[in-house]
Amino acid sequence: MHLSIYIDREEAEVDLNQSLLAEPSQAKHLPSRVWIESKKLWRVVGPAIVSRLAGYSMGVITQAFAGHLGVVELASISIANNVVLGFTFGLLLGMASALETLCGQAFGAKRHHMLGIYLQRSWIVLFFCCILLLPIYIFASPILKLLGQADDVAEQTGVVSLWLLPLHFSYAFLFPLQRFLQSQLKNFVTLWVSLVVLVFHALISWLFVYVLDFGVVGAAVALDISWRVLCFGLLGYVTCGWCPLSWTGFSMEAFYGLWEFVKLSTASGVMLCMTINGWELMIHLAFFAGTGVRVANELGGGNGQAAKFAAKVSAAESTLIALFFCILIIIFRDQFGYIFTSSTDVLQSVSEMSYLLAVTILLNGVQPVLSGVAVGSGWQAWVAYINLFCYYIIGLPLGFVMGWVANLGVMGIWGGMILGGTAVQTVLLAIVTTRRDWEKEAQEASQRVNKWSTPNPDDQTEEQQ
């Protein structure tokens, strides 16, 4: 009886969500069409911004606590969090975005039972990917020494990296859960759980670092615990009856078609692993998610032109937000460094790099949206090739020349990556996006849904009746 109530409620919610997606844009005037599309977009983007900022803020809180312990502690937690953990974060987050294509299009096509199968396939693929990435954590210290990092910082970073291994494996389960929920427009669940965990993380960070005096290791352990709580909170929501149409239990079907899933996930990971570079980027990663869901839903429903219009609206609104933060960074370039440290040398470096940060933010307003269009359409492989070309053929060599040959140091390396990597990548993505045949994309999305789906016994029974 209780299960029947959950199913009835879920069916009503799904009908409401899909009616919002299918809301016809009968208004002839552009402002009205933009307003209708913005409502659909921000139903995903709004909660996604809050939940992503909350998740990223946990890392910021950890760095802030560690930073006031000392310069070595700040450097070690920053490198472990932003470089070691950041690399695997970006890769796994990108691989999980395959669910935005598959779950988004399946939801648009009303193949709800396949969402749970895709979720389990993603868990399997990402878990094994986590195992393959273990050497990055285990050998973090010698790798950093080989790259020229100071011994004390490298040693401390190696210790912190090992303590962050539980968090590393949490990503394999958390990221697919987030995409599973957002593809069904259930982002508010992620939002509230993330906010609760953010407050919890601030409290246990204070407890472990200052009260129990566990130092930088305590800060890392607090981060582990908080992400685990976030993961189990979402897992409980999904598996305990709140998603009865899309989660029907564990199934052996999750092990079928894994290679195709791996190829789509790997292409997604290459797309995103070089783009995680800041707190503000969490907003545009929310647009990345929102655009992917909107485009996937419309293509899954056979609406090519609606998908194209959704991409345009998302790109315009994301760019305006980026411009706002770009100006904000320039105005407060001498102040925002105090969040992390009181070191005069570090503050001076932050101020000098603020203009380059502003340019990065501006580019981030466009690039994630274009990547979101690719994810929603299912052509991640194209974008993976573009990313590889831009960053490894253009960006890295240019960064090397500007950093070491021109003797510009970190500014030169970063500038080369931005000018040669992100800027060229954004231009190429824009060209690829504008040249797509959207009606053809809608047809291919329908074919993909049919190919990857298995018959739902409940649907067959309803059709026979």
Q: Kindly tell me if the per-residue pLDDT of 351 is higher than 80.
A: no
Instruction: Give the model's pLDDT for residue 277.
Output: 45
Indicate the pLDDT class of residue 343, thresholds 50, 70 and 90.
low
- Alpha helix (H) residue ranges in 133-272: 134-138, 140-146, 151-163, 165-182, 187-206, 215-237, 258-272
Residue 285 near residue 52 (C-beta atoms within 8 A): yes
Tens digits of residue pLDDT in 278-316 = 556 777 878 888 888 888 888 888 888 888 898 889 989
Q: Which of 13, 42, 23 is nearest to 290 (CA)?
A: 42
Cα 438 to Cα 307: distance, rounded to the nearest angstrom? 8
Q: Where are the domains of the chain?
A: 30-452
Q: Kindly tell me if the per-residue pLDDT of 420 is higher than 90.
A: no
Instruction: Give the model's pLDDT for residue 151.
Output: 85
Q: Kindly tell me if the per-residue pLDDT of 232 is higher than 60.
A: yes
Instruction: Give the model's pLDDT for residue 261.
Output: 67
Instruction: Give the model's pLDDT for residue 271.
Output: 42
On average, the pLDDT of the chain sits at 79
Q: Kindly tell me if the per-residue pLDDT of 386 is higher than 80.
A: yes
Cα 356 to Cα 413: distance, rounded to the nearest angstrom? 11
Residue 276: Cβ within 10 Å count: 18
Q: Kindly tell me if the per-residue pLDDT of 221 is higher than 80.
A: yes
Residue 22: Cβ within 10 Å count: 14
Mean pLDDT value across residues 125-148: 88
Indicate the pLDDT class of residue 165, thresholds 50, 70 and 90.
very high
Instruction: Give the model's pLDDT for residue 55.
Output: 87
What DSSP state is assigned to residue 243? -
Residue 442 near residue 307 (C-beta atoms within 8 A): yes
Q: Kindly tell me if the per-residue pLDDT of 209 is higher than 60.
A: yes
Instruction: Give the model's pLDDT for residue 302.
Output: 82
Instruction: Give the model's pLDDT for residue 335.
Output: 67
Indicate the pLDDT class of residue 463, thresholds 50, 70 and 90.
very low
Extract the tokens encoding 309. Answer: 């219009």
Instruction: Give the model's pLDDT for residue 274.
Output: 64
Cα 406 to Cα 125: distance, rounded to the nearest angstrom? 42
Instruction: Give the model's pLDDT for residue 235.
Output: 94
Instruction: Give the model's pLDDT for residue 227.
Output: 94
Cα 166 to Cα 230: distance, rounded to the nearest angstrom? 13
Cα 207 to Cα 198: distance, rounded to the nearest angstrom? 14
Which is higher by pLDDT, 454 or 414? 414
Residue 405: Cβ within 10 Å count: 9
What DSSP state is assigned to residue 117? H
Residue 255 near residue 124 (C-beta atoms within 8 A): yes
Residue 314 near residue 41 (C-beta atoms within 8 A): yes
Residues in the chain: 465
Cα 238 to Cα 252: distance, rounded to the nearest angstrom? 18
Indicate the pLDDT class of residue 192, thresholds 50, 70 and 90.
very high
- Report which residue type is found at 131: I
Helix (H, G, I), strand (E, B) or coil at 279: coil
Instruction: Give the model's pLDDT for residue 337.
Output: 62
Q: Kindly tell me if the per-residue pLDDT of 272 is higher than 50.
A: no
Cα 302 to Cα 109: distance, rounded to the nearest angstrom? 8
Query: Which of 44-53, 117-126, 266-275 is predicted with the least confidence, judged by mean pLDDT?
Result: 266-275
Q: What is the pTM of this model?
A: 0.70
Instruction: Give the model's pLDDT for residue 426.
Output: 87
Tens digits of residue pLDDT in 58-106 = 988 888 888 777 778 878 888 887 777 877 887 787 788 778 888 888 8
Which is higher by pLDDT, 82 or 437? 437
- Report which residue type is found at 406: A
Q: Which of 313, 319, 433 is nearest to 377 (CA)?
A: 433
Q: Kindly tell me if the per-residue pLDDT of 4 is higher than 60.
A: no
